[in-house]
Amino acid sequence: MTRTKAEQDRYALPGSPPTDEDLRHEAALTRAEIGETVAALRHRADVKARMREAAQHRMALLHDAMNATTDHAHRLAGTVRAHPVLAGGVATIAAALVMLTIWS
């Protein structure tokens, strides 16, 4: 809740005191701003809840990554079953590269 330009000009004019309605409106704005500030401070002070939220978020990310890895492994296993000669050739080349790396 912010003041409009007209309200700001009205409060800024010297010699024209604010009306009762202006004061009530100003008090309502102040109460709303204080309420928002208190809510923000309460949230920041609740470290336990914030840590729980962060842990839940990380667990969800981990769960998603685990599902993606499982799906990838199932697809890879299907490819190996469909093309066993190709999979054997790739495994042989990988083993040879590892051996060359170790012996170098």
Question: Does the pLDDT of residue 6 top 90, yes or no?
Answer: no
DSSP states along the chain: ----HHHHHHHHSTT-PPPHHHHHHHHHHHHHHHHHHHHHHHHHH-HHHHHHHHHHHHHHHHHHHHHHHHHHHHHHHHHHHH-HHHHHHHHHHHHHHHHHHHH-
pLDDT of residue 53: 92
* pLDDT of the residue at 62: 95
Task: Report the distance separating Cα 10 and Cα 3, nearest Å.
Answer: 10
- Higher-scoring residue by pLDDT: 20, 64: 64
Band (pLDDT 50/70/90 cuts) for residue 13 is low
- Segment 35-78, tens digit of pLDDT: 999 999 988 888 898 899 999 999 999 999 999 999 998 998 88
Give me the amino acid identity at 72.
Answer: H
pLDDT-derived band of residue 85, with 50, 70 and 90 as boundaries? confident
Residue 90, C-beta contacts closer than 8 angstroms, at least 6 positions apart: none
Residue ranges per structural domain of the chain: 5-45, 47-103
pLDDT in the model for residue 103 = 87
pLDDT value at residue 19: 81
